Amino acid sequence: MRLQATGLEAGYGAVPALHGVSVSVEQGEIVAIVGRNGVGKTTLIKALMGLLPATSGSVRLGGNDVTRWPPSRRVRAGLRAVYQERAVFSELTVRDNLRLNGLDASAQADVLEMFPDSLIGRDQQRAGTLSGGEQKMLASGCALRAGASILVMDEPTEGLQPSNVDLLGKHLSQARDDGLGVILVEQHLALATSLATRFVVLEKGEVVASGHADEPDIHERIATHLVI
Q: pLDDT tens digits, residue range 31-66?
A: 999 998 889 999 999 999 999 999 999 999 998 999
CA gap 225, 204 in Å, rounded: 11
Residue type, 74: R
- Decide if pLDDT at 87 tops 90: no
Among 183, 102, 191, 97, smallest CA distance to 137 is for 97
- Decide if pLDDT at 207 tops 90: yes
CA gap 83, 42 in Å, rounded: 8
CA gap 186, 157 in Å, rounded: 8
Cα-Cα end-to-end distance for the chain: 37
CA gap 171, 70 in Å, rounded: 29
Q: Going by DSSP bridges, is the β-strand pair 30-34/181-185 parallel, antiparallel, or unpaired?
A: parallel
Domains of the chain plus CATH, in order, are 2-87+147-226 (3.40.50.300)
Average the pLDDT over each of 81-95, 96-110, 174-188 and give the range with the smallest value: 81-95
The mean pLDDT of the chain is 93
CA gap 74, 50 in Å, rounded: 8
